[in-house]
Amino acid sequence: MSASGGIQLSMTHSEPGGLREIWNDLAAGLIARGHMVDRFVLYPNRGADQRDHAAAEGWLHLLPERPSGMLATPRLFAALVRHLRRTRPAAVVTAMPFCDVIMPLAVRAAGTPTKVYVSHHSPITTHNRVLARLDGLTARLDCVAAVISVSHAVAASLDGMPAAYRAKRVTITNALPDKVEQLIDRLRYSDTVQEVPGRIVALGRLTYQKNYPMLIRALARMPAGSLDILGIGEDEQDLRALAAEQGVAERVRFLGQVSREEALAHAATAQVFVQVSHFEGHSLALIEAARLGLPLVVSQVPVQVEGITAADGETCGIAVPIGDEAALAAVMTRLLADPKERAAWGGRARRLGIEASNRAMVDAYERLLVPARARC
C-alpha cells in the first residue's frame, strides 16, 4: 500500500468481472496522471485461486478468505478499521452493496479524515433490500462526499432516497482504457482476424443477471447459428443442462474465464454480440463490442437502452423485451442472414464505442477525488 493521503478503490470481494476491470482501468488512468492509487477488497469470494489472480493484478485482500460464522462481520469490520488507520487514505471509492455500506461506518470508527465516494454499478432495486436501506442511511454521513452512478438509469433508481442522499449524486459513465481501445482497433483492422459465419458471442459471468437461459432458448428457435459464452459462474452446470434439453448443446460453447485480450480477440470473430441481461450498470462488455463494430442486441430495460443510445439520441443497437425468446431469435436470425443490415448496425455500434471516452471518465473521477490545488 502507498503512503497516506492517496486514493483507494475498493470492493466487497475480488470476483472476476467487469467491475474489477473498471477499477483496474481507473487506477491505471489516475496513476498515469501522477496520483497515488491502491486497490483492495474485503475478501476473496471463491478461494485461493481467485485471491492469487487478483493479487497478481495488484489487489490487496483484507482477509485471506471469505469470512463465515457469528463473528465474521465484527472481525471484518475490525480489519477494515485497522487498514484505514494504517494507510489513512484521502479518498476511498467503494463498489458492491456491502462495501458501500460498511465503508462510511469504518471511516467514522477509524477517525481518519478520509472521504468516501460510494459507487453504484447497477440499479439499487437489484441490491439486497436490507443493504439498500442501510445505504440510504450510511451514505448520508458527513464522511461520504458523493454517490456515483455509472449511468443515468442507475442514478434514476436512487430517486426514492432522501433529499440529503440525492444531493450527493454524480453520474460518471464507464469507458475503456487507451490500451484496450488500441487493441480493439488493431483487431478490427487485422487481416488475421477472420469473421466466423453464424457466430454469436456473449461475455460475462454465468449468473442470473446475464439471463443466459433466454439466449439459449432463443438459439433453439433458430435454424442456424452458434453461441459462444465467455465467462464462469455458479449457473454453468444448469446452463449446460438447458442447452442439452433444448437440443443445442453442440451449438453452444462455454469457453470459461479467459484474459481480457483473449476475450476481445474471440469476440472480434463473431457476427453478433448479445447481452439480454436482467440488469446492468454501464457494461464494459457492451462498450467493447460496440468499439469492435459488432451489431448489438440487448435487453429492453432502461440501463441497456441507455447503453445503446448515442449522445445525439440515435439508437445504435436493437433492444428486445426480456422473456420474448421468439423476438430475440428473429432478430439474431435476421442479422446473421443479412450482411447489409449487419453492417449497418455494426457501423452504428462502432460510433457508440468511439464516443465512450476514457479521458472524459478519468477527468471526471480526478475532478471529484483530487482537490483542485493537487491537480495543478
The answer for residues whose C-beta is within 8 angstroms of residue 163's C-beta and 6 or more apart is none
Q: Do you know the residue count of the chain?
A: 376
180: pLDDT confidence band, cut at 50, 70 and 90? very high
The span from the CA of 231 to the CA of 203, in Å, is 6
Burial class of residue 190, CB neighbours in 10 A (0-12, 13-18, 19+): exposed
- Domains of the chain, first to last: 7-175+358-375 (3.40.50.2000), 178-355 (3.40.50.2000)
Least confident of 21-25, 297-301, 369-373: 369-373
Q: What is the mean pLDDT of residues 30-58?
A: 89
Sign of the dihedral through C-alpha 340, 345, 351, 354: negative
- pTM here is 0.87
Cell of 118: 460510494
Cell of 329: 431469435
pLDDT at 45 over 60: yes
pLDDT at 72: 87
Tell me the C-alpha to C-alpha distance, in Å, between residue 298 and each of 14, 195, 274, 338, 366. 27, 21, 6, 19, 31
SS3 content of the chain, % helix, strand, coil (to 5): 50, 15, 35
Cell of 228: 459462444
Determine how β-strand 7-13 pairs with β-strand 91-94. parallel
Contact 290, 330 (CB under 8 A): no
Locate cell 445525439: which residue? 312
Residues in a beta bridge with 200: 227, 272
Q: What is the mean pLDDT of residues 204-217?
A: 96
Cell of 129: 433490500
Long-range contacts formed by 261-264: CB under 8 A, 24+ apart? 261/183, 263/203, 263/230, 264/180, 264/183, 264/184, 264/187, 264/288, 264/292
Q: What is the mean pLDDT of residues 74-82?
A: 96
374: pLDDT confidence band, cut at 50, 70 and 90? low
Cell of 100: 458501500
pLDDT at 106 over 90: yes
The span from the CA of 328 to the CA of 214, in Å, is 9
Q: What is the pLDDT of residues 268-283, one digit of tens each?
A: 999 999 999 999 989 9
pLDDT at 359 over 50: yes
Q: Looking at 150-273, list the stretches that DSSP marks H as alpha helix, in order from N- to C-terminal side.
A: 152-156, 163-166, 178-188, 212-220, 236-245, 260-267
Q: Which helix (H) or strand (E) holds 229?
A: strand 226-230
Burial class of residue 209, CB neighbours in 10 A (0-12, 13-18, 19+): middle
Q: What is the mean pLDDT of residues 146-174?
A: 96
> Residue 359: which of 30, 8, 23, 117 has the closest Cα?
30
Q: What is the mean pLDDT of residues 364-374?
A: 82
Q: Which helix (H) or strand (E) holds 147?
A: strand 144-149
Cell of 168: 450527493
The answer for residues whose C-beta is within 8 angstroms of residue 27's C-beta and 6 or more apart is 9, 37, 38, 39, 58
The answer for residues whose C-beta is within 8 angstroms of residue 320's C-beta and 6 or more apart is 276, 297, 298, 299, 300, 327, 328, 331
